[in-house]
Amino acid sequence: MLRGVRVTSPLRTVLDLPTVVNDHIVSSCIEQWTIERKLSLDALHEAVAARSGERGNARLRAILEGRELGRTITDSPAESAMGRLLVKRGLQAVHHHLVAVRAGATFELDFAFPAERVALEIDGYGIHLRSFEAFDDDRWRRNELELDGWLVLNFSGSAVRRSPDRIVQQVRSALELRAAS
């Protein structure tokens, strides 16, 4: 109950959604609620497996099987979009790769090609400019990665939506540059 109204959990809602809305809306809800950690992909997969034959279940199973990111959970819609773009274009990056730099710090990269030491960072305006300290920390972090031999490419969420071909070209160029050296 929420303010006197009966409500369901995000899991139950997603199980019911395919009976009343299109696949895009179902997929969007799954993405957003996993990002917000309101929905567990493992629990959703278990529930779908247990509901064989239920109305809407075949559509939900197809949506989950067609999810380009598999069971990967991202931190933002922009990161999800970047992950889908990379998979669709055949660029197999490691998601949330941890890097320990010589200076002693450990950083988590949004996406990485560890063998080539190429990092892809998705920068949201609000997240990365939440404070002067956070802004400064991002600069120090990038410097440490660069000094440790990483080539770091930064992309905004809007760039992922508006310029996917340009992003793919830059990522491929970075990988080629590293392969040639």
Q: Could you name the CATH architecture of 77-180?
A: 3-Layer(aba) Sandwich (3.40)
- Angle, alpha carbons 169-119-181 (nearest 5°): 70
Task: Give SS3 for 2.
Answer: strand
Q: 98-123 burial string, b = 16+ CB within 10 Å, else e? A: ebebeeeeebebbbbbeebbbbbbbe
Q: Are 152 and 145 in contact (CB under 8 A)?
A: yes
Dihedral sign of CA atoms 7, 10, 11, 16 in order: positive
Under 8 Å between Cβ of 113 and 152: no
Instruction: Give the start-to-end residue ranges of the domains of the chain.
Output: 10-65, 77-180
Helix spans in 36-163 (H): 41-50, 57-65, 77-88, 125-128, 132-147, 157-162
Tens of pLDDT along the chain (181 residues) come to: 788 988 889 999 999 999 999 999 999 999 999 989 999 999 999 999 998 888 889 999 999 998 888 888 888 889 999 999 999 999 999 999 999 999 899 999 999 999 999 999 998 766 556 678 888 888 899 999 999 999 999 999 899 999 999 999 999 999 999 999 8
Token pair 């990269």 is found at 109
Contacts for 104 with CB less than 8 Å, ≥ 6 apart: none
pTM over 0.75: yes
82/72 Cα distance (integer angstroms): 12
64-74: per-residue pLDDT in tens?
998 888 888 88
The rounded distance, in Å, linking the Cα atoms of 49 and 43 is: 10
* Residue 14 · residue 44 · CB < 8 Å: yes
* Residue 25 contacts residue 32 (beta carbons within 8 Å): no
